Homo-oligomer: A and B are copies of this chain.
Amino acid sequence: MTPTLHDVARLAGVSIKTVSNVINHHPNVRPATRERVELAITELGYTPNLTARNLRSGRTGAFALAVPDLGLSYFAELAATIIQEAESRGVGVLVEQTGGDREREIELLRSPRRGLTDGLIFSPLGMGQEDVAHLDVAYPLVLLGERIFDGPSDHVTMQNVEAARAATEYLLAQGRRRIAVVGAHAGEVIGSAGLRLAGYRAALDAAGLDYDDDLVGYTTMWHRANGAETMRRLLDRGVAFDAVFGLNDTLALGAMRALQESGLRVPDDVWVVGFDDLDEAQYSIPSLATIDPGQDWIARTAVETLLARIEAPGERGPARRLLADFRLVRRESAPGAAPRD
C-alpha cells in the first residue's frame, strides 16, 4: 500500500539506512546520492510511518489534555490556547472529556490510551484531595485547577483566594455593602468554589463586615442555567443585596439573566462581577466585569512544563508549583473607578 523505506531504497538503489539518513538529515551522504534518494521519495510520495518511528524512539510527539467538557467556555478557551501553544512546538494534542466525573477521571489516568501520548495535562473536577495518590503515575503529568494540591506532579494554577478577594474588595471600595455570591459549593474548602468563597470572606473580614450565609447561593454545576436558577432562588428568598459576585463568568451571566427577568437592572440596581474573563464577558449586555485569572499564561506554562518533563525523562526533580498573575477587568456591570494600586 503506502510506500516504505524499503520501496524508496529499492528505487534509489541504496540501503534503507541511507534513505533514513537522508530523511533525518544525517551527515555522510554524498550530494548525488541524496538527490537520487530525494527524487525517489517524491516519486513514490513517501511519508515516514510515524507509528514505527514512535516505536523506535519511544516518543509519540503528542500529549493528552483532559478537561471536564469543551462545552464549558472556560475549558474550550483553555484547550484552544493549549493546542495552539503545542502546535507552535510541533506537538499534537489528544483531547479527553471527563464530564467532571471522579470515576472517569481516575480511570483516565490509568487508561491504556495514555500510551498513545507522551504525557498529560489534566484538569480534574470530580477528584479531590483524597485522590492525590492517583496522580502518582509513570508518565509526565501537569495538573491544572484547584481540586488537588501538593500532589506528586507539577501544578499550574491561579490565585483564586487573592483574586476573589480583589474582586470583592473592589465592590466594597465602590460602596457596595451587601454582596451576594452565586455558585458556592456547600462544605467545599478547596476547589475553585471553596477558594473563591474564602477570598470573598477574607475581603468582608478585612472590611469589618459580617459574613451572611443568606447572601450565598449554592449550586453544583457551573453552567449558565445554574447561575440563573441560583439567582432566582436568592431573589425568592427576599434578602436584599446591591452586588453579586459570580464565582465564574457563566454563573454571573446566568445570574444577570435572572436579575433582568425579575426587573432588577444591572448596574443601576445591582452590580455584578464574574471570574474567568471569557470572550463572551466583553459582549454581554451589559458587559461583565470580571477577573482575568491569567489563563493564557497558565496554558503556555502548562505546555512548557510538560514538554520539559517529556524531554528530560529520568530526572524526576521536585514537583513545581506555578501561579498565574490575575487582573481585575472593570466593565459596565460594575462600573467603578480603578482601584488604587
Contacts and interface: CB of A to CB of B under 8 A. Distances in A.
Could you say how many copies of this chain the assembly holds? 2
A52 B73 CA distance: 37
A283 B92 CA distance: 34
Contacts of A116: 50-51, 60-62, 92
A244 B51 CA distance: 51
Interface string A80-99: 10011001000011111100
Interface in A147-186: none
A70 interface: yes
Contacts of A93: 94-95
A224 B54 contact: no
A216 interface: no
A49 interface: yes
Contact of A254 (B50, B61, B256, B283): B283
A329 interface: no
A260 B115 CA distance: 52
A280 interface: yes
A223 B76 CA distance: 15
Contacts of A32: none
Nearest to A57: B51
Contact of A76 (B70, B112, B254): B70
A133 interface: no
Nearest to A2: B138
Contacts of A224: 279-280, 282-283
Highest count of chain B CB atoms <10 Å: which of A47, A48, A138, A285? A285
A96 B96 CA distance: 14
Interface of A is mostly: helix
A71 interface: yes
Interface in A1-47: 2, 47
A54 B53 CA distance: 12
A76 B76 CA distance: 6
Contact of A55 (B55, B257, B283): B55
Contacts of A228: 283
A284 interface: yes
A331 to B, nearest CB: 12
A196 B224 CA distance: 29
Contact of A50 (B83, B112, B260, B282): B112
A335 to B, nearest CB: 14
Contact of A77 (B50, B71, B95, B96): B71
Contacts of A310: none
Contacts of A257: 283-285, 287
Contacts of A76: 70-71, 73, 76, 79-80
Interface of A: 2, 47-52, 54-55, 60-62, 69-71, 73, 76-77, 79-80, 83-84, 87, 92-97, 112-113, 115-116, 138, 223-225, 227-228, 253-254, 256-257, 260, 279-280, 282-285, 287
